[in-house]
Structure 1
Protein backbone atom coordinates (compact mmCIF):
# COMPACT_ATOMS: atom_id res chain seq x y z
CA UNK A 1 0.00 0.00 0.00
CA UNK A 2 1.40 3.41 -0.86
CA UNK A 3 1.31 6.38 1.44
CA UNK A 4 -0.74 9.36 0.37
CA UNK A 5 1.09 12.62 -0.09
CA UNK A 6 0.20 15.54 2.14
CA UNK A 7 -2.30 18.01 0.78
CA UNK A 8 -0.57 20.74 -1.28
CA UNK A 9 -0.26 24.11 0.39
CA UNK A 10 -3.44 26.06 0.05
CA UNK A 11 -5.68 23.02 -0.41
CA UNK A 12 -8.14 22.29 2.38
CA UNK A 13 -8.77 18.61 3.12
CA UNK A 14 -12.19 17.44 4.29
CA UNK A 15 -10.75 16.27 7.63
CA UNK A 16 -7.54 16.85 9.58
CA UNK A 17 -4.59 14.79 8.39
CA UNK A 18 -2.38 12.52 10.44
CA UNK A 19 1.25 13.43 10.92
CA UNK A 20 4.46 11.53 11.51
CA UNK A 21 4.11 7.77 11.70
CA UNK A 22 0.45 7.83 12.67
CA UNK A 23 -1.79 6.31 10.04
CA UNK A 24 -5.24 7.51 9.11
CA UNK A 25 -8.02 6.62 6.73
CA UNK A 26 -7.13 6.81 3.04
CA UNK A 27 -8.48 10.17 1.85
CA UNK A 28 -9.55 8.98 -1.57
CA UNK A 29 -11.60 6.09 -0.13
CA UNK A 30 -13.29 8.28 2.50
CA UNK A 31 -14.09 11.03 0.00
CA UNK A 32 -15.51 8.51 -2.50
CA UNK A 33 -17.72 6.83 0.12
CA UNK A 34 -19.03 10.12 1.46
CA UNK A 35 -19.79 11.35 -2.07
CA UNK A 36 -21.67 8.12 -2.78
CA UNK A 37 -23.53 8.40 0.54
CA UNK A 38 -24.54 11.98 -0.20
CA UNK A 39 -25.78 11.05 -3.68
CA UNK A 40 -27.76 8.15 -2.22
CA UNK A 41 -29.25 10.31 0.52
CA UNK A 42 -30.27 12.93 -2.03
CA UNK A 43 -31.77 10.25 -4.26
CA UNK A 44 -29.31 10.62 -7.09
CA UNK A 45 -27.09 7.61 -7.36
CA UNK A 46 -26.87 4.74 -9.75
CA UNK A 47 -25.93 2.06 -7.24
CA UNK A 48 -27.96 0.46 -4.48
CA UNK A 49 -29.34 2.78 -1.84
CA UNK A 50 -27.03 3.17 1.15
CA UNK A 51 -28.43 2.35 4.60
CA UNK A 52 -27.44 3.33 8.13
CA UNK A 53 -25.94 -0.17 8.53
CA UNK A 54 -23.79 0.39 5.43
CA UNK A 55 -22.40 3.57 6.98
CA UNK A 56 -21.73 1.82 10.31
CA UNK A 57 -19.83 -1.07 8.73
CA UNK A 58 -17.79 0.77 6.10
CA UNK A 59 -14.02 0.40 6.41
CA UNK A 60 -11.12 2.22 4.83
CA UNK A 61 -7.45 1.41 4.21
CA UNK A 62 -4.99 2.92 6.69
CA UNK A 63 -2.20 5.05 5.24
CA UNK A 64 0.33 7.70 6.26
CA UNK A 65 -1.00 11.25 5.93
CA UNK A 66 -4.57 9.96 5.90
CA UNK A 67 -7.57 11.51 7.56
CA UNK A 68 -7.60 11.42 11.36
CA UNK A 69 -9.68 8.36 12.25
CA UNK A 70 -11.64 9.95 15.12
CA UNK A 71 -12.72 12.89 12.93
CA UNK A 72 -13.98 10.63 10.15
CA UNK A 73 -15.70 8.28 12.60
CA UNK A 74 -17.53 11.22 14.21
CA UNK A 75 -18.73 12.40 10.79
CA UNK A 76 -19.80 8.87 9.87
CA UNK A 77 -21.83 8.73 13.07
CA UNK A 78 -23.74 11.84 11.98
CA UNK A 79 -24.24 10.38 8.50
CA UNK A 80 -25.53 7.14 10.00
CA UNK A 81 -27.95 9.12 12.18
CA UNK A 82 -29.26 10.92 9.08
CA UNK A 83 -29.83 7.68 7.19
CA UNK A 84 -31.56 6.09 10.20
CA UNK A 85 -33.79 9.14 10.60
CA UNK A 86 -34.67 9.02 6.91
CA UNK A 87 -35.54 5.31 7.13
CA UNK A 88 -37.73 5.95 10.18
CA UNK A 89 -39.45 8.86 8.41
CA UNK A 90 -39.97 6.77 5.27
CA UNK A 91 -41.55 3.98 7.31
CA UNK A 92 -43.96 6.40 8.97
CA UNK A 93 -44.86 8.26 5.79
CA UNK A 94 -45.48 5.09 3.77
CA UNK A 95 -47.69 3.55 6.42
CA UNK A 96 -45.20 0.84 7.36
CA UNK A 97 -44.47 2.43 10.74
CA UNK A 98 -46.11 -0.51 12.52
CA UNK A 99 -43.69 -2.89 10.81
CA UNK A 100 -40.80 -0.59 11.78
CA UNK A 101 -41.90 -0.59 15.43
CA UNK A 102 -42.42 -4.37 15.43
CA UNK A 103 -38.93 -4.95 14.01
CA UNK A 104 -37.42 -2.60 16.58
CA UNK A 105 -39.26 -4.38 19.40
CA UNK A 106 -38.10 -7.77 18.14
CA UNK A 107 -34.49 -6.52 18.01
CA UNK A 108 -34.78 -5.06 21.51
CA UNK A 109 -36.19 -8.37 22.77
CA UNK A 110 -33.25 -10.23 21.19
CA UNK A 111 -30.90 -7.98 23.13
CA UNK A 112 -32.87 -8.42 26.35
CA UNK A 113 -32.75 -12.19 25.92
CA UNK A 114 -28.97 -12.01 25.52
CA UNK A 115 -28.41 -9.71 28.47
CA UNK A 116 -30.59 -11.81 30.76
CA UNK A 117 -27.99 -14.58 30.58
CA UNK A 118 -25.58 -14.76 33.53
CA UNK A 119 -22.43 -12.62 33.50
CA UNK A 120 -19.56 -14.51 31.91
CA UNK A 121 -21.92 -16.59 29.77
CA UNK A 122 -23.65 -14.07 27.53
CA UNK A 123 -21.64 -14.85 24.39
CA UNK A 124 -19.66 -17.78 23.00
CA UNK A 125 -16.04 -17.84 24.07
CA UNK A 126 -13.18 -18.27 21.64
CA UNK A 127 -11.13 -21.45 21.95
CA UNK A 128 -7.69 -21.55 23.55
CA UNK A 129 -5.23 -19.97 22.69
CA UNK A 130 -7.22 -17.37 20.72
CA UNK A 131 -8.13 -14.04 22.17
CA UNK A 132 -11.56 -12.46 22.32
CA UNK A 133 -13.09 -9.44 24.02
CA UNK A 134 -12.54 -9.15 27.76
CA UNK A 135 -15.52 -10.74 29.43
CA UNK A 136 -15.75 -8.34 32.37
CA UNK A 137 -15.62 -5.26 30.12
CA UNK A 138 -18.28 -6.59 27.75
CA UNK A 139 -20.53 -7.54 30.66
CA UNK A 140 -20.38 -3.97 32.04
CA UNK A 141 -21.53 -2.57 28.68
CA UNK A 142 -24.21 -5.26 28.35
CA UNK A 143 -25.51 -4.39 31.84
CA UNK A 144 -25.84 -0.73 30.76
CA UNK A 145 -27.74 -1.78 27.63
CA UNK A 146 -29.99 -3.99 29.75
CA UNK A 147 -30.81 -1.01 31.97
CA UNK A 148 -31.56 1.08 28.87
CA UNK A 149 -33.89 -1.46 27.27
CA UNK A 150 -35.57 -2.67 30.46
CA UNK A 151 -35.75 0.52 32.56
CA UNK A 152 -35.14 3.38 30.12
CA UNK A 153 -31.85 4.44 31.72
CA UNK A 154 -30.00 6.80 29.39
CA UNK A 155 -27.53 5.40 26.86
CA UNK A 156 -26.56 7.29 23.74
CA UNK A 157 -25.72 5.94 20.32
CA UNK A 158 -22.29 7.56 20.64
CA UNK A 159 -21.60 5.64 23.83
CA UNK A 160 -22.38 2.36 22.09
CA UNK A 161 -20.46 3.29 18.93
CA UNK A 162 -17.34 4.32 20.81
CA UNK A 163 -17.06 1.32 23.12
CA UNK A 164 -13.76 -0.54 22.88
CA UNK A 165 -12.70 -3.69 24.65
CA UNK A 166 -9.33 -5.10 25.52
CA UNK A 167 -8.70 -8.71 24.57
CA UNK A 168 -8.07 -11.82 26.64
CA UNK A 169 -7.52 -15.51 26.02
CA UNK A 170 -10.82 -17.39 25.89
CA UNK A 171 -12.68 -14.09 25.78
CA UNK A 172 -16.05 -13.45 24.21
CA UNK A 173 -16.46 -14.04 20.49
CA UNK A 174 -15.88 -10.62 18.91
CA UNK A 175 -18.30 -11.10 16.01
CA UNK A 176 -21.16 -11.99 18.36
CA UNK A 177 -20.52 -8.98 20.60
CA UNK A 178 -20.15 -6.63 17.63
CA UNK A 179 -23.40 -7.93 16.14
CA UNK A 180 -25.26 -7.28 19.40
CA UNK A 181 -23.79 -3.76 19.60
CA UNK A 182 -24.82 -3.07 15.98
CA UNK A 183 -28.34 -4.26 16.79
CA UNK A 184 -28.42 -2.00 19.85
CA UNK A 185 -27.39 0.99 17.70
CA UNK A 186 -30.13 0.13 15.20
CA UNK A 187 -32.77 0.00 17.93
CA UNK A 188 -31.61 3.21 19.64
CA UNK A 189 -31.64 5.01 16.29
CA UNK A 190 -35.06 3.57 15.44
CA UNK A 191 -36.45 4.96 18.69
CA UNK A 192 -35.13 8.35 17.65
Structure 2
Protein backbone atom coordinates (compact mmCIF):
# COMPACT_ATOMS: atom_id res chain seq x y z
CA UNK A 1 0.00 0.00 0.00
CA UNK A 2 1.44 3.35 -0.97
CA UNK A 3 1.23 6.62 0.90
CA UNK A 4 -1.20 7.77 -1.81
CA UNK A 5 -3.54 4.92 -0.86
CA UNK A 6 -3.35 5.93 2.82
CA UNK A 7 -3.96 9.50 1.72
CA UNK A 8 -7.12 8.31 -0.03
CA UNK A 9 -8.12 6.25 3.03
CA UNK A 10 -7.82 9.09 5.51
CA UNK A 11 -9.36 12.51 5.19
CA UNK A 12 -7.22 15.14 3.48
CA UNK A 13 -8.35 17.82 5.91
CA UNK A 14 -10.42 17.99 9.06
CA UNK A 15 -13.27 19.47 7.04
CA UNK A 16 -13.77 15.99 5.58
CA UNK A 17 -15.49 14.97 8.80
CA UNK A 18 -18.92 16.36 9.40
CA UNK A 19 -19.75 17.66 12.84
CA UNK A 20 -22.10 15.74 15.08
CA UNK A 21 -25.58 17.17 14.59
CA UNK A 22 -28.14 18.43 17.02
CA UNK A 23 -27.74 17.10 20.52
CA UNK A 24 -25.47 14.27 19.44
CA UNK A 25 -21.96 14.31 20.77
CA UNK A 26 -18.93 13.53 18.67
CA UNK A 27 -15.23 12.85 18.88
CA UNK A 28 -13.05 15.69 20.14
CA UNK A 29 -11.65 17.30 17.01
CA UNK A 30 -8.12 18.06 18.22
CA UNK A 31 -7.62 14.48 19.44
CA UNK A 32 -8.78 13.04 16.11
CA UNK A 33 -6.69 15.48 14.09
CA UNK A 34 -3.58 14.80 16.19
CA UNK A 35 -3.97 11.03 15.91
CA UNK A 36 -4.52 11.15 12.16
CA UNK A 37 -1.52 13.43 11.65
CA UNK A 38 0.67 11.02 13.65
CA UNK A 39 -0.68 8.01 11.78
CA UNK A 40 -0.04 9.63 8.43
CA UNK A 41 3.50 10.61 9.43
CA UNK A 42 4.20 7.07 10.66
CA UNK A 43 2.76 5.52 7.51
CA UNK A 44 4.84 7.76 5.32
CA UNK A 45 7.94 7.02 7.39
CA UNK A 46 8.37 10.52 8.70
CA UNK A 47 8.45 9.70 12.43
CA UNK A 48 10.15 7.25 14.73
CA UNK A 49 6.94 6.32 16.50
CA UNK A 50 5.53 2.90 15.71
CA UNK A 51 1.91 2.93 14.60
CA UNK A 52 0.36 -0.40 13.66
CA UNK A 53 -3.06 -1.60 12.61
CA UNK A 54 -3.60 -2.55 16.26
CA UNK A 55 -2.72 1.01 17.35
CA UNK A 56 -5.37 2.35 14.99
CA UNK A 57 -7.94 -0.25 16.10
CA UNK A 58 -7.37 0.53 19.78
CA UNK A 59 -7.39 4.33 19.42
CA UNK A 60 -10.03 6.13 21.46
CA UNK A 61 -11.10 9.74 21.49
CA UNK A 62 -12.96 11.83 24.06
CA UNK A 63 -16.65 12.35 23.28
CA UNK A 64 -17.72 15.99 23.43
CA UNK A 65 -20.37 18.42 22.21
CA UNK A 66 -19.69 19.82 18.74
CA UNK A 67 -17.20 17.06 17.91
CA UNK A 68 -16.71 15.13 14.70
CA UNK A 69 -19.37 12.64 13.66
CA UNK A 70 -18.53 9.34 15.34
CA UNK A 71 -19.77 7.29 12.39
CA UNK A 72 -17.63 9.21 9.90
CA UNK A 73 -14.47 9.03 12.01
CA UNK A 74 -14.97 5.32 12.76
CA UNK A 75 -15.36 4.58 9.05
CA UNK A 76 -12.13 6.45 8.26
CA UNK A 77 -10.33 4.68 11.11
CA UNK A 78 -11.39 1.34 9.65
CA UNK A 79 -9.90 2.28 6.27
CA UNK A 80 -6.69 3.49 7.91
CA UNK A 81 -6.44 0.26 9.91
CA UNK A 82 -6.86 -1.67 6.64
CA UNK A 83 -4.00 0.32 5.07
CA UNK A 84 -1.64 -0.42 7.97
CA UNK A 85 -2.69 -4.08 7.99
CA UNK A 86 -1.99 -4.41 4.26
CA UNK A 87 1.51 -3.04 4.77
CA UNK A 88 2.07 -5.32 7.77
CA UNK A 89 0.93 -8.28 5.64
CA UNK A 90 3.37 -7.30 2.86
CA UNK A 91 6.21 -6.89 5.37
CA UNK A 92 5.35 -10.18 7.08
CA UNK A 93 5.29 -12.08 3.80
CA UNK A 94 8.64 -10.53 2.87
CA UNK A 95 10.09 -11.67 6.23
CA UNK A 96 8.72 -15.22 6.53
CA UNK A 97 7.27 -15.99 3.09
CA UNK A 98 3.70 -16.70 2.14
CA UNK A 99 3.62 -20.13 3.77
CA UNK A 100 5.04 -18.82 7.04
CA UNK A 101 2.58 -15.91 7.08
CA UNK A 102 -0.38 -18.18 6.38
CA UNK A 103 0.77 -20.62 9.06
CA UNK A 104 1.02 -17.80 11.60
CA UNK A 105 -2.50 -16.62 10.72
CA UNK A 106 -3.78 -20.21 10.87
CA UNK A 107 -2.34 -20.58 14.39
CA UNK A 108 -4.06 -17.39 15.54
CA UNK A 109 -7.32 -18.52 13.94
CA UNK A 110 -7.11 -21.85 15.79
CA UNK A 111 -6.66 -20.07 19.12
CA UNK A 112 -9.77 -18.01 18.36
CA UNK A 113 -11.73 -21.12 17.38
CA UNK A 114 -10.70 -22.86 20.60
CA UNK A 115 -12.32 -20.03 22.57
CA UNK A 116 -15.37 -19.75 20.32
CA UNK A 117 -15.90 -23.50 20.38
CA UNK A 118 -16.84 -23.46 24.06
CA UNK A 119 -20.51 -24.04 24.87
CA UNK A 120 -23.01 -21.18 24.81
CA UNK A 121 -22.95 -19.29 28.08
CA UNK A 122 -19.39 -20.45 28.85
CA UNK A 123 -17.20 -18.80 26.24
CA UNK A 124 -15.93 -16.00 28.47
CA UNK A 125 -15.64 -15.19 32.17
CA UNK A 126 -18.59 -13.43 33.75
CA UNK A 127 -18.60 -9.98 35.27
CA UNK A 128 -18.46 -10.43 39.04
CA UNK A 129 -21.06 -9.66 41.67
CA UNK A 130 -23.63 -7.12 40.64
CA UNK A 131 -21.52 -5.80 37.76
CA UNK A 132 -22.64 -5.58 34.21
CA UNK A 133 -21.11 -7.27 31.21
CA UNK A 134 -22.06 -7.97 27.62
CA UNK A 135 -25.31 -9.85 27.05
CA UNK A 136 -24.42 -13.51 26.86
CA UNK A 137 -26.97 -14.48 24.21
CA UNK A 138 -25.86 -11.67 21.88
CA UNK A 139 -22.16 -12.51 22.22
CA UNK A 140 -22.89 -16.19 21.70
CA UNK A 141 -24.82 -15.36 18.51
CA UNK A 142 -21.83 -13.44 17.13
CA UNK A 143 -19.54 -16.28 18.25
CA UNK A 144 -21.56 -18.79 16.24
CA UNK A 145 -21.35 -16.55 13.16
CA UNK A 146 -17.58 -16.29 13.58
CA UNK A 147 -17.31 -20.07 13.87
CA UNK A 148 -19.13 -20.25 10.53
CA UNK A 149 -16.64 -17.80 9.05
CA UNK A 150 -13.56 -19.70 10.25
CA UNK A 151 -14.81 -23.25 9.71
CA UNK A 152 -17.04 -22.96 6.64
CA UNK A 153 -16.03 -19.69 5.00
CA UNK A 154 -19.40 -18.07 5.66
CA UNK A 155 -19.34 -14.35 4.82
CA UNK A 156 -18.35 -12.00 7.65
CA UNK A 157 -16.36 -8.80 7.11
CA UNK A 158 -13.86 -7.07 9.35
CA UNK A 159 -16.19 -4.05 9.42
CA UNK A 160 -19.03 -6.21 10.74
CA UNK A 161 -16.78 -7.46 13.53
CA UNK A 162 -15.58 -3.92 14.29
CA UNK A 163 -19.17 -2.73 14.54
CA UNK A 164 -20.40 -5.52 16.80
CA UNK A 165 -22.16 -3.99 19.78
CA UNK A 166 -23.81 -5.70 22.69
CA UNK A 167 -26.33 -4.64 25.27
CA UNK A 168 -25.41 -5.03 28.91
CA UNK A 169 -26.70 -7.45 31.55
CA UNK A 170 -25.82 -8.26 35.13
CA UNK A 171 -23.14 -10.93 35.31
CA UNK A 172 -22.75 -10.85 31.54
CA UNK A 173 -19.55 -11.73 29.74
CA UNK A 174 -16.54 -9.64 30.74
CA UNK A 175 -16.19 -6.84 28.21
CA UNK A 176 -12.38 -6.94 28.09
CA UNK A 177 -12.27 -10.59 27.09
CA UNK A 178 -14.91 -10.25 24.38
CA UNK A 179 -13.30 -7.09 23.00
CA UNK A 180 -9.86 -8.73 22.94
CA UNK A 181 -11.21 -11.71 21.02
CA UNK A 182 -12.99 -9.48 18.50
CA UNK A 183 -9.75 -7.53 18.02
CA UNK A 184 -7.93 -10.82 17.38
CA UNK A 185 -10.58 -11.82 14.83
CA UNK A 186 -10.13 -8.54 12.94
CA UNK A 187 -6.38 -8.99 13.05
CA UNK A 188 -6.63 -12.46 11.48
CA UNK A 189 -9.11 -11.26 8.87
CA UNK A 190 -6.80 -8.43 7.87
CA UNK A 191 -3.75 -10.72 7.91
CA UNK A 192 -5.24 -12.99 5.29
CA UNK A 193 -6.67 -10.00 3.41
Structure 1 and Structure 2 fold alike (TM over 0.5) = yes
Larger Rg: 1
Instruction: Give the drift of 1:148.
Output: 0.7
Instruction: Give the drift of 1:45.
Output: 1.1
Instruction: Give the drift of 1:154.
Output: 1.0
Secondary structure of the structure 2 residue equivalent to 1:168: strand
Secondary structure of the structure 2 residue equivalent to 1:59: coil
Q: Map of 1:77-156 to 2, 5 A cutoff?
A: 77-156=78-157
- Equivalent residue in structure 2 for 1:21, among 6, 20, 23: 23
Structure 1: state its 5+ residue gaps. 1-10
Specify whether residues 12 and 151 from structure 1 end up closer, same or farther in structure 2 by C-alpha distance, changes over 3 A only: closer
Instruction: Give the drift of 1:19.
Output: 2.9
Instruction: Give the drift of 1:181.
Output: 0.3
In the alignment, the residues of structure 1 paired with residue 14 and residue 180 of structure 2 have an alpha-carbon distance, to the nearest angstrom, of 37
Question: Conserved in 1, the CA contact under 8 Å of 2:14 and 2:33?
Answer: no
Instruction: Give the drift of 1:99.
Output: 4.0
Deviations 1:35-59 (A, max 9, x none): 111111111113x220000000001
Partner of 1:55: 56
Aligned residues between the structures: 181
Structure 2: state its 5+ residue gaps. 1-12
In the alignment, the residues of structure 2 paired with residue 166 and residue 130 of structure 1 have an alpha-carbon distance, to the nearest angstrom, of 13
Specify whether residues 113 and 12 from structure 1 end up closer, same or farther in structure 2 by C-alpha distance, changes over 3 A only: closer
Question: Conserved in 2, the CA contact under 8 Å of 1:115 and 1:122?
Answer: yes
Structure 1 residue runs of 4+, over 3 Å off?
94-99
More deviation in 106-115 or 137-146?
106-115
Instruction: Give the drift of 1:116.
Output: 1.2
What TM-score, normalized by structure 2, do the two folds share? 0.89
Partner of 1:4: none
- Structure with more helix by fraction: 2
Partner of 1:171: 172
Question: Conserved in 1, the CA contact under 8 Å of 2:132 and 2:171?
Answer: yes
Secondary structure of the structure 2 residue equivalent to 1:94: helix
Instruction: Give the drift of 1:63.
Output: 1.3
What TM-score, normalized by structure 1, do the two folds share? 0.90
Instruction: Give the drift of 1:104.
Output: 1.3
